[in-house]
């Protein structure tokens, strides 16, 4: 949007004249430019396809990037030239910009990323796998050279060798509502694929390029009242974290105008809408525009086979490795399942494009705005729905990473966990109990798989709300951010009920998309929908590390003198976590009785009476407390033979789950 306020507020007297002159110069240079950028229309110039389904901007569009990026003949070097704009969203002038240069995570063994992962693989040295990014020109919009002002920071660990965060002191502060224009040139060398980005060779020796985090990128300047900055703070603060081995990303929403220049014969896919494609002098130039997104990624390879389909307002494009062409239908069908499922469970997908990329190596299974990297393998059997799982999971990120855009450095669970939960809902709703593995005698769904990961890893030592680089041990990052978080969400659904849970997700999305919500904001939405304080749940299982286990400790059955039967049931809480429980007794006439227990005390004893003989007692019979780490102790039968059969059956289910974990690790 066009800035609404041009406050004259308040630099010191000594600098007022200089600031006014600088501000006026900037306004003269780019007033007309800003009028078009901040209100970029939903239909780009000369294009027929809309960018989003909306007629007005949906985000505050604090940043804008306009680059031409050229893939050099070596297949790994990118040369970029263009303009970066940052608008001051606060009420106080800002004298320093901060930005990310993420590719410097791959520059050498001393970067924080390489240190945290235990160093680079040997082939990085043998094959010159290293990557980097550096400015070759950095000027203000008025032509002032700023390159010598750039300084590297290490806000998270003090590593002076890390160059993934930079500060740029400005010749004059950016006033509230004003915009800083940077004219830049940069050179980036993509690494051999190690984490999400880089280059590789396909099975046929053809080059594959995944350009992610490939450009200089502004950090997020959080203003008072945004996320965890106090409302009464005197000024905002930069939130720019280094590239860590465990973490992903966080950025402001904005607009992108990107021209991608690659050798002739390459097939290109990218964020946003392609407005034109031309070929000249052995090169192919494709122009893309995107709006109300917080990142831009692209891919290119001469090996890609291209397939297209559509769903409602969305044009789907699948770029597939040739050896996987037999799975094109599976990918496109899974994309439709994902679009329908998220639309029903969360809300509308507002963009008009979705690009599906069959990536190589460690780039698979990753998400960027309107572009996701899928995953498959040659000969993947239809009864193992891993391609469907990965695609639906990565599409789920379009909501929790893309549209809600929580801070993945600090609260990864809000993206990975909620995405893993919704992936399970979509998979199990569409494909049933065997949504992940559907083989005679072995049917396992996505929800079960996440619970399996959690119980196999023992109760984690880290809370869901843990900064990604502070997990100890670091291996718990994935266990907690994905599987534990998904299991917590399934348990929350058991507390709220499916109807209120879906209402909470829809309200969370409607209220917070394009606004970077926090855990506190998500909790507030849940409490609004539930109409009650949910601190007891969030304090234990989101901010805390409480484990849950309730056991059916004893079942005594007696026949009374009047011919009726009595069941005396003792239930124990064996872990520190507390949550309400249902205790059910089943009788020989096919009926059952339920009692509710708040689960706070260490144990409780309840009596049930009925005209028919009690057969079995179970705590949490409908398996609503998915966090329960031991289901083997949840039930007892009145007759030993039945008890043995029940226990054997339950134990078999557990071992099937463990087998699934082994299978999953193979794909």
- What one-character-per-residue DSSP string does 455-505 give? HHT-S-SS-SS--GGG-SSTTHHHIIIIIIHHHHHHHHHHHH-HHHHHHHH
Sign (positive or negative) of CA dihedral 539, 542, 545, 548: positive
| Overall average pLDDT of the 465-476 stretch | 96
* Separation CA 331–CA 333 (nearest Å): 5
Q: Shortest CA distance to 657 belongs to which of 474, 485, 487?
A: 487
**DSSP string of 550-601, one letter each residue:** EEEEEEEEEE-TTS-EEEEEEEEE-SS----EEEEEEETTS-EEEEEE---S
Domains detected in the chain: 1-39+62-252 (2.60.40), 413-541 (1.10.390.10), 550-665 (2.60.40.10)
Q: Shortest CA distance to 358 belongs to which of 401, 326, 402, 396?
A: 326
CA atoms within 13 A on the CB side of 654: 15
Per the prediction, the chain carries an average pLDDT of 90
Q: What are the beta bridge partners of residue 267?
A: 301
pLDDT at res. 381: 79
Q: How confident is the model at residue 658 (pLDDT cuts 50, 70, 90)?
A: very low
Q: Are 367 and 419 in contact (CB under 8 A)?
A: no
Q: Are 235 and 41 in contact (CB under 8 A)?
A: no
The interaxial angle of helices 498-512 and 328-345, nearest 10 deg, is: 90
Determine which of 225-234, 443-452, 558-567, 602-611 has the lowest per-residue pLDDT on average. 443-452
Output b/e per residue, 143-153; b: 16+ Cβ within 10 A: eeebeebbebb
Per DSSP (E only), the strands in 272-357 are 273-280, 283-293, 298-301, 305-311, 314-320, 353-357
pLDDT at res. 455: 83
The token pair that represents 262 in the structure block: 């690659």
pLDDT digits (tens, 9 = 90+) for 564-607: 999 999 999 999 999 999 999 999 999 999 999 999 999 999 99
| Overall average pLDDT of the 161-189 stretch | 98
pLDDT of 168 strictly over 50: yes
Q: Is 231 left (phi over 0), alpha (psi -120 to 50) or beta?
A: alpha
Residue with the larger pLDDT of the pair 29 and 231: 231
Determine which of 249-253, 367-371, 446-450, 533-537 has the lowest per-residue pLDDT on average. 446-450
Query: In this prediction, what percent of the chain has a pLDDT beyond 90?
Result: 80
pLDDT at res. 133: 98
- Cα angle 292, 295, 299 (rounded to 5 degrees) comes to 120
Sign (positive or negative) of CA dihedral 221, 223, 226, 229: positive
| Overall average pLDDT of the 247-269 stretch | 97
Q: Are 510 and 347 in contact (CB under 8 A)?
A: yes
Count of residues in the chain: 667
Q: Are 23 and 178 in contact (CB under 8 A)?
A: yes
Residue with the larger pLDDT of the pair 28 and 349: 349
pLDDT of 33 strictly over 80: no
pLDDT at res. 666: 33
The kind and range of the H/E element at 28 are: helix 13-37
Instruction: Please list, in sequence order, all residues whose beta carbon lies within 8 angstroms of the beta carbon of residue 129, skipping any fewer than 6 positions away.
Output: 106, 120, 121, 123, 191, 192, 194
pLDDT at res. 117: 95
- Cα angle 313, 317, 323 (rounded to 5 degrees) comes to 155
pLDDT of 7 strictly over 70: no
pLDDT digits (tens, 9 = 90+) for 392-445: 999 999 999 999 999 999 999 999 999 999 999 999 899 888 787 887 777 777
Backbone angles phi, psi at 664, to 5 degrees: -60, -35
**DSSP string of 361-418, one letter each residue:** GGGSSEEETTEEE----TT--TTB-HHHHHHHHHHHHIIIIIIS---TTT-TIIIIIH
pLDDT of 654 strictly over 70: no
The token pair that represents 89 in the structure block: 């969203």
Query: In this prediction, what percent of the chain has a pLDDT beyond 70?
Result: 88
The kind and range of the H/E element at 84 are: strand 77-87
Q: In whole angstroms, how far apart are CA 448 and each of 341, 416, 434, 503? A: 19, 17, 10, 23
Q: How confident is the model at residue 20 (pLDDT cuts 50, 70, 90)?
A: very low
- Cα angle 106, 107, 112 (rounded to 5 degrees) comes to 65
**DSSP string of 213-262, one letter each residue:** S-S-EE-EEEPTTSTTS-TT-SS-EEE-----SS-------EEEEEEEEE
**DSSP string of 408-469, one letter each residue:** TTT-TIIIIIHHHHHHHHHHHHHHGGGSSEEETTEEE-HHHHHHHHHHHT-S-SS-SS--GG
DSSP tag of 190 = P
pLDDT at res. 39: 54
């Amino acid at each position: 949007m066009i800035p609404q306020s041009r406050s004259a507020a308040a630099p010191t007297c000594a600098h007022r004249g200089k600031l006014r002159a600088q501000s006026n110069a900037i306004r003269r240079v780019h007033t007309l430019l800003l009028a078009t950028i901040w209100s970029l229309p939903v239909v780009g110039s000369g294009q027929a396809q809309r960018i989003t389904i909306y007629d007005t901007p949906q985000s505050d569009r604090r940043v804008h990037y306009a680059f031409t990026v050229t893939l050099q003949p070596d297949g790994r070097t990118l040369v970029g030239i263009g303009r970066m704009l940052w608008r001051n969203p606060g009420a106080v002038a800002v004298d320093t910009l901060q930005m990310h240069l993420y590719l410097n995570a791959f520059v050498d063994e001393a970067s924080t990323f390489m240190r945290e992962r235990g160093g680079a693989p040997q082939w990085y040295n043998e094959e010159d796998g290293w990557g980097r990014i550096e400015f070759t020109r950095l000027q203000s919009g008025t032509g002032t050279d700023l390159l010598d002002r750039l300084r590297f920071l290490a806000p998270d660990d003090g590593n002076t060798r890390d160059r993934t965060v930079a500060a740029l002191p400005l010749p004059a502060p950016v006033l509230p509502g004003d915009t800083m224009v940077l004219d830049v040139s940069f050179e980036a060398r993509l690494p051999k694929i190690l984490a999400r980005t880089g280059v590789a060779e396909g099975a046929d020796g053809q080059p594959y390029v995944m350009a992610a985090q490939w450009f200089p990128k502004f950090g997020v300047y959080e203003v008072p009242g945004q996320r965890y900055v106090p409302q009464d703070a005197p000024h905002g603060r930069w939130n720019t974290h280094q590239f860590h081995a465990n973490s992903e990303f966080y950025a402001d929403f904005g607009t992108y105008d990107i021209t991608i220049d690659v050798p002739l014969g390459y097939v290109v896919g990218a964020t946003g809408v392609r407005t034109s494609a031309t070929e000249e002098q052995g090169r192919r130039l494709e122009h893309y525009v995107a709006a109300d997104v917080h990142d831009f990624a692209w891919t290119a390879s001469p090996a890609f086979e291209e397939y297209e389909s559509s769903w409602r307002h969305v044009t789907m494009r699948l770029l597939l490795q040739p050896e996987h062409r037999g799975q094109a239908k599976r990918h496109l069908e899974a994309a439709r399942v994902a679009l329908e499922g998220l639309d029903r469970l969360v809300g509308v997908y507002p963009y008009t494009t979705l690009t599906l990329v069959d990536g190589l190596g460690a780039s698979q299974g990753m998400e960027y705005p309107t572009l996701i990297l899928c995953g498959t393998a040659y000969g993947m059997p239809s009864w193992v729905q891993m391609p469907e799982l990965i695609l639906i999971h990565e599409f789920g990120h379009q909501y929790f990473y893309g549209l809600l855009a929580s801070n993945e450095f600090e609260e990864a669970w809000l993206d990975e966990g909620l995405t893993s939960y919704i992936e399970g809902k979509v998979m199990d709703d569409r494909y049933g109990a065997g949504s992940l593995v559907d083989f005679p005698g072995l049917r396992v769904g996505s929800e079960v798989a996440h619970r399996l990961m959690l119980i196999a890893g023992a109760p984690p030592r880290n809370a869901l709300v843990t900064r990604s680089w502070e997990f100890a041990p670091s291996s718990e990052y994935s266990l907690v951010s994905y599987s534990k978080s998904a299991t917590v969400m399934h348990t929350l659904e058991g507390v709220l009920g499916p109807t209120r849970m879906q209402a909470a997700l829809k309200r969370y999305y409607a209220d917070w998309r394009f606004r970077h919500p926090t855990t506190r904001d998500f909790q507030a939405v849940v409490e609004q929908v539930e109409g009650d304080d949910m601190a007891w749940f969030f304090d234990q299982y989101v901010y805390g590390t409480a484990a849950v286990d309730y056991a059916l400790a004893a079942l005594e059955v007696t026949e009374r003198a009047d011919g009726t039967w009595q069941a005396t049931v003792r239930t124990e809480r064996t872990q520190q976590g507390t949550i309400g429980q249902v205790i059910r007794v089943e009788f020989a006439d096919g009926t059952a009785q339920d009692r509710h227990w708040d689960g706070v005390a260490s144990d409780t004893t309840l009596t049930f009476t009925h005209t028919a003989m009690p057969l079995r007692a179970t705590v949490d019979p409908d398996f609503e407390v998915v966090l329960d780490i031991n289901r083997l102790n949840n039930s007892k039968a009145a007759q030993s033979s039945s008890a043995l059969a029940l226990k054997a059956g339950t134990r078999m289910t557990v071992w099937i789950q463990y087998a699934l974990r082994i299978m999953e690790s193979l794909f």
